[in-house]
Structure 1
Amino acid sequence: MFDRSAAEHVAAAAADQRPGAHVAIVAPGGYGKTALLHHLGNAIGEVTGIPPVTALPPFDRFVDGVLLVDDAHQLDDADLRELRRLATSPDVRLVVAARPWPRRGALAEVLDLTQDQFLPAPLDRDQVRAVLPARLRSERHVEFVHAQTGGVPAFVDRLGRALDPDAELEVPTAAVAEFRRELAGLDEGVLRFLLAAEAGVGLNLDLLVDFLETREVVEVVEAARATGLVGTAGSLLPIAQRAIRVLVPVERRAWIRQRLAELQLARGGQVLPLMRPLVNTGIGGDGAAAAFEAAAAEALPGDPALAARLYAAAITAGRPPVAVAARRAEALALAGDLDGALRLADQVITLEQAPHRTLAATVAAAALAHRGQLGRSAQLYRWAGARHFAVLGSVGVGELAEPADDDGPPTSLSSAISLMAQGLHASVAGTPTTALSKLVRAAATLEPVGRGVLLPDSPAALGALLALHYGELGTATSLLERAIAAGTGGAPLAVRHRLLLAWIAMVRGELPKAGEIVAAARRARSALEPRDWLFAVGIELGVARRAGDAATLGRAWLQAGEAILRHPVDLFTFLPLGELTMAAARLRDESRLAAHLAEARVLLAGLGEPPLWAMPLWWGGLHAAITAGQQEAAEEHAGAIAAAAARDEQFGTIAAAAGCWLDVTAGKVDADAVENAAQGLHGAGLTWDAARLAGRAATRTTDRAAMVRLLDCARMIQGKPVSNRRVSTAELGVKGEEQPPEVSLSDRELQVAELVVSGLTYKDVGDRLFISAKTVEHHVARMRQRLGASSRSELLSQLRTLVGSAGARD
């Protein structure tokens, strides 16, 4: 393939009639030197009228003419001296092609006599397109061929002849097979360098000196480049790499990698790239075992699953299992296999002479924390000397422990863990803002280093919990999104972070989004850990309750029964416990949670009733009591919330809403107070609760103007258009005239409304409530009359607002 510039160069060389106008063509193998040699010879022959002759040794039989000499680098010194003698004859014109290496002195003398040199370059993409068969000139085929071959003409030709345009883009076996002859003819040193290049060594010259056992590494590298198989950076062309992997026996390639890794390990260098491909080969020996172990340590922060496999390979290679058991347990835990991690960690802990027992203890402690066994987790952390992590477990089970003083170097990791412990302590003994500030700082400090650190919980997750309890949903969202992006805590915490985001979506009224996140979490992990499972079930219950989906609520409640048995009560599960409390009241199954709620009260009492942690239980208890008609219990929970608001005005929003709920339940609706409380909840991110409060108050008021106002408030909070209907003076009544009829809905009407807006027919609604379809129709007609709806669609719209998002009620 000759472009315009190359063609002009050929024409200029052919037209040069000066004596001794010899031409050299120098390029690695595969660059088309032979084709260019004959093309140039023919061009000269056309100008001079003398046909070119392909000259082979012995050269003393040639006395004149245009002589074409190919592969001059393969000639011996005697032949090269004869060529140089011929070059001094005015009747001889030489066109010589050679590789750039080996560049022996005799060859250099011949090339130095040439007046012009051609240095063929790789083909660019346009040139590759031009030489490919028409069937392969699509953009994707051109890009693939160019990337695989580096534009080396011979390799482009090989791949172009073998590619099937309708098949997957991969190098066919037929193209690979053509490299067999080239590899077989290589010098042993060059072949070993190519095998090292295939292993990814590149131009690590110091390592190559030891591996090739020669100081002449540069010469070997140049000889390898001269084959055309190696690029300028010392890396193999992809097609050549593929050929070596197919044509060179795997045993030899494995030995090469093992030898390189042993040399690299002795030098203190990284060995992971060398050992990764050998993880399943079963190679053995002390050197291989040490290299596998070192590679596992390198892989642990970024790919703990690979690290676990590398530790297993080290055992296969001859490393005693107990020697790597603790680190292998850590890798398994970070990869999400807590069962395997616990088994190995327990084995190490029970052996007094086992190495890394404290590491094994911290691995077991972290795994137990994920499974809700915070008390035992704290014991193990204290035994291992990890006092800051022990604080987490202690506080979680109701034992307030002072954060320990830092006695190690102030690294990012130690600083983050210390701040996390301080934040947890402040959440109980200090102020909510102090606690939240420390946890936010801990999460930010941990971000750059937390991906490969095994944690019982993350400061981001704990900070998000506190922010949810405190009505700071924006802070909670930011913490979780940053932790997910940073990969904090690896696989064990990935699901937890996403489930907490789902919880935020749920309380904001984004029910489909919350459901999708939970479904994705269940797909990602075949079996959720107990803590994650409890949160997932809590979200599924919360979504079903808010959506008025009785069937799904019942199914989720069956799972909830097992989830709460598997996970003991601790401080960090009060969010789902509060949601389960409301679901239990709705399903009239409060006894199932009685023991757990009693444990929670004891735990809170042991910590001095910290309002920041107690708020979800108070809020959930309030609504459960309202649903169950337990006025005294509802007032007790509302009173606790009000007491908390007296100490921290941030809780005032919840306290105002709690007071409104008590009044609405008693039939007393202050539209101003309800609207203010609803707007306060909405401002705190509790969109669904806000809309539901306004909607429920609208069903209880006897003031039609207040009803319309509260309905509009609920719809605005939900992002829906408000009603265009306005209440007339006649409807409101004037002095001396009869007041408008009461517009509150009865409990039975609310039940009918909930089922109607869920899409059921009158017959289906009747079957659910054990009444006739006619009675259902009568209820709907009365509601339409009371609400003043002019059409069925307007009625359904108002009913959806009245019963909450998609028809929810307690």
Structure 2
Amino acid sequence: MSAPVRNGLPMSGSAASALLDRVTADPSAPMHAVVGAPGGYGKTALLRRLAEVYRDAGVPVAGPWPPVPPPADHVLLIDDAHLLAPDRLDELRGHAEHPGARIVVAHRPWPRRPVLLRLVEALRRGGPSVALPALTTGQIAAHLTARLPGPPSAELIAFVAAQTAGIPRYVTRIADALAAGPPGQPHVPVAALAGFAAELDELEPGVRTLLLAVEAGAGLSFDLMAAVLDTGADIDGLAEAGRSTGMLAPDGSLVPLARRAIAALGPISQRIDVRQRLAARQLARGGPVLPLVRPLLRVATGPGLVPGAAGSGLGPVYEAAGEEALGDDPALAAELFEAAAGAGRTTAVRRALATALAGDLDHASRLTDQVLSAGTPGQRAEAAYVAAAVLAYRGQTAQSVRLFAWAGSDVAAGFAAVGLIATGRLPDAQRLIRPDDPAAQPPTSLSAAATLMARGTAESVTSPSATALSTLVQAATLIGPAGPSALLPDSPEAVGALLAMHGNDLDVADSLLARAERHGTGGAPLSARHHLLSTWVLLLRGRLDEVEQRLPATAGVTAPEGRDNLFGTALRVGLARRNSDLVGLRSAWPDACQALIGQPVELFNLLPLGELAVAAARLGEFHRVAGHLAEADRLLAALGDPPLWTVLLHWYRLQAAILSDDHDTARRHADHLDAARTAGPFAAAYADAALVWLEVLAGRIDPEPVLSAARTLSLAGLTWDAARLAGQAAIRTADRKAMALLLESARAMQDRGTRPEHAASGTPGRAVAAGQQLLSAREREVGALVLAGMTYKQIAGRLYLSAKTVEHHMARIRQRLGCADRHELLSRLREIIGDPETTA
């Protein structure tokens, strides 16, 4: 049935409608009825509607405070009978016992005083007992339709039903507030809460305190309620009184609209006091305090208030809440630790830890400096750990190691050992990697992970790659549960991925980095590192379109300084180089040089260093990286030239020598690769490819060895390197049949580096990259100028060539692209080169 609406409130329930129908049918008949419901359910509205029906029929109405007994011809309508004095209720009962009386009494279900119950019993003997239930969804829809300018959406109806629990008074408040405001998404207007102000003020103090405690999250727990209510308070009775207001649902939860109102309108001082008491009780019994303290923090640190000023006794509570928030919301944890400090607790170190986990390294560094200069020994040790981690993020590994060693914990010792190996001090690191000692303190998962990480890093320079990777994967497994709550200078996943990339085990690198991103290992400070390294895996695979798609996200997480900046800028350089984008390469180069200058050479930075060495050779600025490469040689020599870390760097330097046309240097790095071929399949693949490169440079091109070496690289995941080797061999051979075979193989290898969905759709960017592989840098320059409309003579003057040489270049371009006429040639050049003006 729809909800009749008169005098503001909709009414619900078949009993109410039946009562109205009965009175309408015979207003002069005797009437005994009792209406019971919590506040807001429409008792007053029903009485007013009855009064209208009686008056329309010419029957006088007495109430709500009539003389007793009333005149014989009057109808007696009594509201809020639960508030009447006992003698008044007795008089009403006496009147109700007359068979011909017409009397309707409305009351709340609490308090259940005996005198009221006797009146209700007398009325029930002579007439109906009317219960007013909550409105149904259909009734709420009808009420909103009557109040709003347009028909309500299903979303709005459901929202109002959820916020009000169908209580008529609350439905009306939201409907009126929505009607008075601009249309928009379902929301609770501030005006909908205004009516609660007077109701909260009129509540008995005990009931108001109970509602504030429920709003704070205490539920109806007797233990917690005892902490906020007066000694000896009747908690059951107060809960019944709360339900009687309509604000508290039968299950002990607050109606959502009432919860909002209590949070917004409850007396601030009382809200703070209630939450303080609840939090103190929760802390004493070992329960969670963060849900209680989070809103209190906003109140206690508002304008004009000092953190912690809500009560010095809250210091331990703020501190405990900060520990709870540390893993999920370190920024909130930092606020809580600050509030705890304002309440007299010494939390500077924990605040520094939370600030570092939130990614604010500068602030964390300032906080740790304060503690290191003025803290107690225990505080200084903890601060040293945080400061060491911050230095590691900035790439200052040697300084980080000193602070880790000073911190003195097992965890710090493990990370110090990792840093020592990264800077070439293997013997010092091995002294820190403690053997299993049954008499030592039991290790935590974090200390065990740090020790395994150190062992795995040491094994990477002394043992086969499989051994080192196994140890690092074990470390990652142990550290996983800590997730974002553990401050790490580096993660086992990142170190393992770097080792896997150097050893060409790209699937393992992918797996480790996906695990780190899934678990949030290391929190915000390491999220950039994991994202960058996973993008590097794509770069090594030759999936350039995917790298380009990830670059905006990489820019968002890359720090303005430190190791992440070095990896990020080198990534852009590597992408531009592989795309033969000379303009983009020159644009990215200054930032990359600046990042390289700010970072000392260490084991974990060899990957970007190698990439920048190749780019420097391409740009004729090899002097920019020569000093860093010499330092890398010294570092690797100090570690015994471990093949797992040296092979990829020699491969990069071979590529740089090829671009510089430095055959002697190319031969030297090829010899290094050949000497390391026994280190594993990855090393043998690089060694074979290096020897083939030397043959190609010398003009001795045999398609079978070239294709064999290129296929080995491609199967290892290095599709871009494979395609380049085959493409360059094709460019340099004079055998047309060999050229066609090598070009086709280069195209196939390039396509193999593309994800299946990209390969199927024929991504234009991939076709461009494949085409660029077929042309030399000089041929692309000539082609760009032809597209710009220049004649052979103009191009020759521009490039300091003869016109005959330009014509020769164009003939080779037509041959390599397989074009039958000039129109087809120009179309293919536009696909490969793009905008002729920009390229030219």
TM-score of the aligned structures, taking structure 2 as reference length: 0.84
How much has 1:536 moved relative to structure 2? 0.5
How much has 1:748 moved relative to structure 2? 9.9
* Alignment pair present for 1:71 and 2:80: yes
Please tell me whether the aligned partners of residues 753 and 780 of structure 1 are also in contact (alpha carbons under 8 angstroms): no
Q: What SS does the aligned partner of 1:226 have?
A: helix
Please tell me whether the aligned partners of residues 654 and 666 of structure 2 are also in contact (alpha carbons under 8 angstroms): yes
The equivalences for 1:8-407 within 5 A come to 8-10=14-16, 22-37=32-47, 54=63, 56-61=65-70, 67-92=76-101, 94-113=103-122, 114=124, 116-132=128-144, 133-135=147-149, 137-163=152-178, 164-167=181-184, 169-214=186-231, 215-277=233-295, 278-279=297-298, 280-281=301-302, 282=306, 283-284=308-309, 285-319=311-345, 323-351=346-374, 353=376, 355-383=378-406, 384-385=408-409, 386-400=412-426, 401-402=429-430, 403-405=433-435, 407=440
Q: How far apart, in 2, do the equivalents of 1:586 and 1:156 lie?
A: 72
* Alignment pair present for 1:753 and 2:753: no
Q: What SS does the aligned partner of 1:297 have?
A: helix
How much has 1:531 moved relative to structure 2? 0.5
Q: How far apart, in 2, do the equivalents of 1:721 and 1:172 lie?
A: 55
Amino acid in the other structure paired with 1:190: V
Structure 1 partner of 2:445: 412
Structure 1 partner of 2:577: 545
Amino acid in the other structure paired with 2:666: A
Q: How far apart, in 2, do the equivalents of 1:765 and 1:315 lie?
A: 72
How much has 1:538 moved relative to structure 2? 0.9
How much has 1:582 moved relative to structure 2? 0.4
Amino acid in the other structure paired with 2:169: A
Please tell me whether the aligned partners of residues 399 and 607 of structure 1 are also in contact (alpha carbons under 8 angstroms): yes
Segments of structure 1 that go 5 or more residues without pairing to the other structure are 723-744
The partner residue of 1:429 within 462, 467, 474 is 462
How much has 1:571 moved relative to structure 2? 0.4
Amino acid in the other structure paired with 2:41: Y
Q: How far apart, in 2, do the equivalents of 1:758 and 1:457 lie?
A: 49
Structure 2 partner of 1:679: 711
The partner residue of 1:506 within 529, 539, 543 is 539
Amino acid in the other structure paired with 1:657: A
Which shifted more, 63-72 or 76-85?
63-72
Q: How far apart, in 2, do the equivalents of 1:798 and 1:717 lie?
A: 20
Please tell me whether the aligned partners of residues 499 and 517 of structure 1 are also in contact (alpha carbons under 8 angstroms): no
How much has 1:95 moved relative to structure 2? 3.6
Q: CA RMSD in A?
A: 3.6
Amino acid in the other structure paired with 1:105: P
Q: How far apart, in 1, do the equivalents of 2:786 and 2:219 lie?
A: 67
Q: How far apart, in 2, do the equivalents of 1:263 and 1:641 lie?
A: 68
The equivalences for 1:640-789 within 5 A come to 640-719=672-751, 750-753=777-780, 756=783, 761=788, 763=790, 769-770=799-800, 776=806, 779-785=809-815, 788-789=818-819
Q: How far apart, in 2, do the equivalents of 1:784 and 1:714 lie?
A: 18
Cα–Cα, structure 1 residues 778 and 173, in superposed 2: closer, same or farther, change >3 Å? same
Cα–Cα, structure 1 residues 158 and 765, in superposed 2: closer, same or farther, change >3 Å? farther
How much has 1:79 moved relative to structure 2? 2.5
How much has 1:433 moved relative to structure 2? 0.8
How much has 1:580 moved relative to structure 2? 0.8
How much has 1:680 moved relative to structure 2? 2.5
Q: How far apart, in 2, do the equivalents of 1:485 and 1:785 lie?
A: 50
How much has 1:36 moved relative to structure 2? 3.6
Cα–Cα, structure 1 residues 792 and 369, in superposed 2: closer, same or farther, change >3 Å? farther
Please tell me whether the aligned partners of residues 749 and 779 of structure 1 are also in contact (alpha carbons under 8 angstroms): no
Aligned residue pairs total: 777
Which shifted more, 53-62 or 340-349?
53-62
Cα–Cα, structure 1 residues 774 and 57, in superposed 2: closer, same or farther, change >3 Å? farther
Cα–Cα, structure 1 residues 426 and 175, in superposed 2: closer, same or farther, change >3 Å? same
Q: How far apart, in 1, do the equivalents of 2:832 and 2:59 lie?
A: 103
Which shifted more, 141-150 or 218-227?
141-150
Amino acid in the other structure paired with 2:153: S
Q: How far apart, in 2, do the equivalents of 1:174 and 1:314 lie?
A: 36
Please tell me whether the aligned partners of residues 42 and 51 of structure 1 are also in contact (alpha carbons under 8 angstroms): no
Q: What SS does the aligned partner of 1:719 have?
A: helix
Q: What SS does the aligned partner of 1:197 have?
A: helix
Q: What SS does the aligned partner of 1:25 have?
A: strand
Cα–Cα, structure 1 residues 217 and 10, in superposed 2: closer, same or farther, change >3 Å? closer
Please tell me whether the aligned partners of residues 711 and 798 of structure 1 are also in contact (alpha carbons under 8 angstroms): no
Seq. identity, %: 47
* Alignment pair present for 1:554 and 2:586: yes
Cα–Cα, structure 1 residues 451 and 366, in superposed 2: closer, same or farther, change >3 Å? same
Please tell me whether the aligned partners of residues 730 and 743 of structure 2 are also in contact (alpha carbons under 8 angstroms): yes
Please tell me whether the aligned partners of residues 692 and 801 of structure 1 are also in contact (alpha carbons under 8 angstroms): no
For residues 516-558 of structure 1, give each alpha carbon's deviation from its aligned partner in whole angstroms, at most 9, with x where no partner exists: 4343233346x43410001011101101111112222122221
Cα–Cα, structure 1 residues 413 and 180, in superposed 2: closer, same or farther, change >3 Å? same
Which shifted more, 619-628 or 77-86?
77-86
Amino acid in the other structure paired with 1:241: R
Cα–Cα, structure 1 residues 15 and 145, in superposed 2: closer, same or farther, change >3 Å? closer
How much has 1:146 moved relative to structure 2? 2.8
Cα–Cα, structure 1 residues 701 and 777, in superposed 2: closer, same or farther, change >3 Å? closer
The equivalences for 1:471-550 within 5 A come to 471-524=504-557, 527-550=559-582
Structure 2 partner of 1:737: none
Cα–Cα, structure 1 residues 128 and 778, in superposed 2: closer, same or farther, change >3 Å? farther
Amino acid in the other structure paired with 2:39: G
Q: How far apart, in 2, do the equivalents of 1:760 and 1:286 lie?
A: 77
Amino acid in the other structure paired with 1:181: A
Please tell me whether the aligned partners of residues 202 and 233 of structure 1 are also in contact (alpha carbons under 8 angstroms): no
Cα–Cα, structure 1 residues 721 and 602, in superposed 2: closer, same or farther, change >3 Å? closer
How much has 1:122 moved relative to structure 2? 2.8
Structure 1 partner of 2:820: 790
Cα–Cα, structure 1 residues 352 and 169, in superposed 2: closer, same or farther, change >3 Å? closer
For residues 624-644 of structure 1, give each alpha carbon's deviation from its aligned partner in whole angstroms, at most 9, with x where no partner exists: 111122222212222322333
For residues 104-127 of structure 1, give each alpha carbon's deviation from its aligned partner in whole angstroms, at most 9, with x where no partner exists: 222233334526544433334333
Q: What SS does the aligned partner of 1:586 have?
A: helix
Please tell me whether the aligned partners of residues 158 and 175 of structure 1 are also in contact (alpha carbons under 8 angstroms): yes
Please tell me whether the aligned partners of residues 64 and 92 of structure 1 are also in contact (alpha carbons under 8 angstroms): no
Cα–Cα, structure 1 residues 771 and 480, in superposed 2: closer, same or farther, change >3 Å? same
Please tell me whether the aligned partners of residues 779 and 813 of structure 2 are also in contact (alpha carbons under 8 angstroms): no
Please tell me whether the aligned partners of residues 41 and 133 of structure 2 are also in contact (alpha carbons under 8 angstroms): yes
Amino acid in the other structure paired with 1:351: A
Amino acid in the other structure paired with 2:318: F
* Alignment pair present for 1:453 and 2:486: yes
Please tell me whether the aligned partners of residues 31 and 153 of structure 1 are also in contact (alpha carbons under 8 angstroms): yes
Please tell me whether the aligned partners of residues 496 and 532 of structure 1 are also in contact (alpha carbons under 8 angstroms): yes
How much has 1:484 moved relative to structure 2? 1.3
How much has 1:286 moved relative to structure 2? 2.1
Q: What SS does the aligned partner of 1:135 have?
A: coil
Q: What SS does the aligned partner of 1:589 have?
A: coil
Please tell me whether the aligned partners of residues 36 and 109 of structure 2 are also in contact (alpha carbons under 8 angstroms): yes
Q: What SS does the aligned partner of 2:77 have?
A: strand
Q: How far apart, in 2, do the equivalents of 1:49 and 1:714 lie?
A: 102
Q: What SS does the aligned partner of 2:483 have?
A: coil
Cα–Cα, structure 1 residues 162 and 802, in superposed 2: closer, same or farther, change >3 Å? closer
Please tell me whether the aligned partners of residues 159 and 175 of structure 1 are also in contact (alpha carbons under 8 angstroms): yes
